């Protein structure tokens, strides 16, 4: 049966290599939500167990505690509503076996990430076949999430007949036939999302509609975010990052676009079976040799300064007061000068990020602001317009500039009103960028978070 998908403002269309793609049918503005969908199954990562409700993912309010399942003592809930819903959805088929399963050698042999997937696959099987009849034709012929799941493409590794992860099943539940487990598992790896709040990952989730609709690009024009509502299952919203014209394909990133080219290509090939040819990959592939970073600090400083200057000229005004760029992103890749190729090296971004993080916590603040400014330039170059990581980093820079002002005042060794004014200008400049980017991405995840922090910073800097 050919499934029909109808949505306002977007349309599924044939794609030459990816089976299908989703395109806009009307003009869309940055911030528009093109999909709002629920998960078929989710599983918290180990570090979040007991810190969030296993059903709705809400963290308990201050002074409140989660209560644990009396059967396995391994699932935690914010109340009986969530516990009952989870019990009927899948936990009744897993509870009695859970502890034996997680202490088994098969489970212990898995990587941390694969353990989460093994639990999620077990939950998903319980959910798709609530009566243990394992009738795949019935499960795939409806119009619900389960049938949408069966309409997904299989992952590349499963075409080679890879084994499915071990399954958790309570002794009284019927054993899942191998063929069924393999069939479901074959759509698992490449249709699996990392669920996050304020860009910190906390769970894995299967969202069949989102998987069905969106292809990958390392220069995506959309991004997924997650909406946590107490007593309900988590929802995914797909937000448009920039203005879109009718007919444009809508894409999301399957991985972090700022990862090194080789890492991205390897992961996309292994997990999804394709070679990415987006404009970022094409540009990075055209750079045949990435030179090592210069050894002497003065040359490194010059490299940072040139990167900031280049990005300011072509993409985004990194510093307040500079002339805004007139070019566009595409042109930035076309004219990226070989003298800057060293910044594309695998270690440049992680090292810079670490240096910024350390100095912004421990000081000195001028070093933090200097590293953070170069990191902003690199993010703006590598990530697409309004990508949420740019906004989060701009917010960190705002706070760092503010902390530098306060530290100067408190120590009594402030370097004068001119230096304070420059810091205030910088803080306001970063605040405006953070507001634009995070405003387009919109509310998501746990309560509070970056939008609340932006509100606080705005009142400190303008009131």
Ligand X SMILES: C[S@@+](CC[C@H](N)C(=O)[O-])C[C@H]1O[C@@H](n2cnc3c(N)ncnc32)[C@H](O)[C@@H]1O
Binding site for ligand X (CB under 6 A): 15, 17-20, 152-153, 190-191, 211-212, 215-217, 272-274, 276
Q: Which is nearer to ligand X, 5 or 107 (CB)?
A: 5
CB of 172 vs ligand X, minimal distance in Å: 35
Our CB check for ligand X shows the closer of 276 and 311 to be 276
Are 420 and 354 spatial neighbours (Cβ–Cβ below 8 Å)? no
**442 phi-psi bin (left φ>0, alpha ψ -120 to 50, beta other):** left
Nearest distance from C-beta of residue 272 to ligand X, angstroms: 4
Closest separation in Å from C-beta 273 to ligand X: 5
Q: Compute the C-alpha angle 239/53/253, nearest 5°.
A: 25
Nearest-approach distance from CB 28 to ligand X, in angstroms:
19
Q: Cα–Cα distances in Å, from 148 out to 18, 151, 212, 259, 297?
A: 17, 5, 8, 31, 55
3-state helix, strand, coil in the chain (%, to 5): 50, 15, 40
Do the Cβ atoms of 442 and 239 come closer than 8 Å?
Answer: yes
* Minimum CB distance to ligand X, residue 280 (Å): 12
Output the smallest distance, CB 11 to ligand X, in A. Answer: 13
Q: Shortest approach of ligand X to residue 304 CB, angstroms?
A: 33
Measured from the CB atom, is 83 or 191 closer to ligand X?
A: 191
Q: How far is the CB of 143 from ligand X (least distance, A)?
A: 17
* Residue 335, both tokens: 């004219």
Helix or strand holding residue 122 (H, E): helix 112-128
For residues 13-28, b (16+ Cβ closer than 10 Å) or e, as one string? eeeeeeeebbbbeeeb
What is the CB neighbour count within 10 angstroms for residue 187?
21
**274 or 341, CB closer to ligand X?**
274
Residue number with CB closer to ligand X (153 or 407): 153
190 vs 435, beta carbon nearer ligand X: 190
> Please, which residue, 232 or 256, has the CB nearer to ligand X?
256
Structure-token match 């009131």, residue found:
463
- Judged by beta carbon, residue 15 or residue 88, the one nearer ligand X is 15
- Minimum CB–partner distance for residue 210 and ligand X (Å): 8
Q: How far apart are CA 13 and CA 209, in angstroms?
A: 15
Residue among 244 and 397 whose Cβ is closer to ligand X? 244
- In SS3 terms, 228-282 reads as CCCCCCCEEEEEECCCECCCCECEECCCCCCCCHHHHHHHHHHHHCCCCCCHHHH
* Residues paired with 233 in a beta bridge: none
User: Smaller CB distance to ligand X: residue 272 or 348?
Assistant: 272
CB of 18 to ligand X, least distance (A): 4
Helix axes 417-441, 388-411, angle to 10 degrees: 150
Asked whether the beta carbons of 31 and 239 are under 8 A apart, the reply is yes
* Burial class, 324, CB count within 10 angstroms (exposed 0-12 / middle 13-18 / buried 19+): exposed
């Amino acid at each position: 049966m050919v499934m029909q998908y109808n949505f306002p403002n977007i349309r599924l269309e044939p794609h030459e290599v990816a089976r299908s793609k989703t395109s806009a049918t009307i003009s869309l503005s940055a911030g528009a939500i093109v999909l709002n969908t629920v998960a078929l199954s989710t599983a918290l990562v180990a570090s979040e167990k007991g810190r969030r409700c296993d059903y709705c993912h809400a963290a308990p309010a201050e002074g409140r505690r989660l209560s644990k399942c009396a059967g396995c003592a391994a699932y935690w809930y914010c109340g009986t509503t969530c516990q009952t819903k989870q019990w009927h959805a899948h936990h009744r088929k897993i509870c009695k076996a859970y502890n034996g399963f997680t202490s088994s050698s098969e489970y212990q042999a898995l990587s941390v990430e694969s353990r989460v997937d093994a639990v999620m696959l077990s939950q998903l099987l319980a959910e798709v076949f609530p009566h243990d009849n394992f009738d795949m034709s019935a499960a795939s012929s409806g119009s619900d999430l389960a049938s949408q799941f069966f309409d997904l493409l299989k992952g590349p590794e499963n075409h080679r007949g890879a084994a499915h992860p071990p399954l958790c099943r309570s002794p009284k539940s019927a054993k899942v036939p191998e063929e069924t487990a393999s069939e479901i598992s074959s759509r698992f790896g490449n249709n699996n999302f990392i669920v996050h709040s304020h860009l910190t990952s906390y769970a894995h989730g299967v969202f069949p509609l989102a998987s069905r609709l969106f292809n990958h690009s390392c220069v995506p024009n959309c991004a997924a975010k997650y909406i946590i509502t107490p007593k309900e299952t988590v929802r995914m919203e797909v937000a448009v990052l920039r203005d879109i014209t009718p007919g444009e394909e809508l894409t999301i990133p399957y991985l972090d676009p700022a990862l090194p080219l080789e890492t991205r290509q390897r992961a996309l090939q292994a997990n999804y079976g394709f070679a990415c040819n987006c404009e970022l990959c094409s540009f990075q592939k055209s750079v045949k040799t990435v030179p090592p970073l210069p050894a002497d600090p003065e040359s490194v400083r010059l490299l940072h300064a040139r990167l900031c200057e280049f990005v300011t000229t072509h993409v985004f005004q990194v510093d307040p007061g500079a002339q805004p760029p007139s070019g566009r992103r595409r042109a930035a890749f076309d004219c990226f000068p070989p003298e800057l190729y060293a910044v594309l090296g695998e270690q440049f971004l992680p090292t810079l990020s670490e240096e910024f993080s350390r100095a912004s916590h421990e000081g000195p603040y001028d070093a933090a602001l200097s590293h953070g400014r170069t990191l902003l330039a690199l993010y703006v170059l590598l990530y697409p317009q309004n990508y949420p990581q740019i906004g989060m980093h701009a917010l960190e820079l705002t706070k760092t500039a503010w902390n530098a002002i306060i530290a100067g005042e408190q120590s009594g060794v402030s370097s004068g009103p001119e230096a304070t004014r420059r810091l205030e200008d910088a803080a306001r400049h970063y605040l405006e960028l953070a507001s634009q980017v995070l405003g387009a991405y919109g509310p998501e995840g746990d309560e509070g978070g970056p939008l609340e922090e932006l509100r606080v910073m705005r009142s400190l800097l303008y009131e």
